[in-house]
Chains A and B, each alone.
Chain A
Amino acid sequence: DQQVKQNSPSLSVQEGRISILNCDYTNSMFDYFLWYKKYPAEGPTFLISISSIKDKNEDGRFTVFLNKSAKHLSLHIVPSQPGDSAVYFCAARGHRGTSYGKLTFGQGTILTVHP
């Protein structure tokens, strides 16, 4: 039972263009969403997050959008740079009353940004 899904295994984008990574979830108890970025042979690093009470959070070139009614979130990277090439994981956290810190991850999307 995959509660967090990233249906695109890979995405290829030209440098300078927008990258849009998508994520869907099924558990309505999730109240906090995060994006992590992972380079080969390294652990995931935190990128950006959004609470379920918001629909948008922006940090520099990165913006996360949350559509609760559709149980969908997306990460926008504008403009994309070759150094953004990595695996991106969407993650969700259950309601604080359940299991704080226990994240449910999607399968990941490999982003390749071409010069």
Chain B
Amino acid sequence: GAGVSQSPRYKVAKRGQDVALRCDPISGHVSLFWYQQALGQGPEFLTYFQNEAQLDKSGLPSDRFFAERPEGSVSTLKIQRTQQEDSAVYLCASSFGGNNEKLFFGSGTQLSVL
């Protein structure tokens, strides 16, 4: 597709359940980012990939959060044993990489943990 695609659009999970959120970046984009946006707040950085290499995971809030991009294109953000505080919109963004600072965001996955 022409833009960054994320699925599912909405996810409701019971507390303690594992979830997996998918991101399809724009074709050819080297860099991929995950952000978490809580209600009424701005997006907060979680992690960054350049191709398949995870270069920065300093924003992941706990070891329950895990991200991968095994072939340098599609990425999955996995949250284990979800907690209520994990409820947020998870945004994926991609860019050509290098010196290109413009990020193209997907519409996000809204996660609700009950």
Question: Residues on A close to B: CB < 8 A?
Answer: 4, 6, 32, 34, 36, 41-46, 49, 89, 91, 93, 99, 101-108
Contact A105 B42 (CB under 8 A): yes
Question: Which residue on chain B has the smallest CB distance to residue A51?
Answer: B101
Contact B44 A99 (CB under 8 A): no
Tally A-B pairs: CB < 8 A: 58
Interface size class, chain B = 20 to 34
Contact B42 A106 (CB under 8 A): yes
Give the distance in Å from the alpha carbon of A93 to the alpha carbon of B40 in the complex: 21
Contact B43 A101 (CB under 8 A): no
Chain A contact residues, majority secondary structure: strand
* Residue numbers in A under 8 Å from B45 (CB-CB): 102-104
Residue contacts A-B, CB under 8 angstroms, 6 given: A4-B42, A43-B91, A43-B93, A101-B56, A102-B33, A107-B41
Q: Which positions 93-114 of chain B face chain A at CB distance < 8 Å? A: 93, 95, 101-108
Contact A101 B48 (CB under 8 A): yes
Q: In the complex, which of the residues B42, B103, B107 has the most CB atoms of chain A within 10 Å of its own CB atom? A: B42
Give the distance in Å from the alpha carbon of A84 to the alpha carbon of B63 in the complex: 40
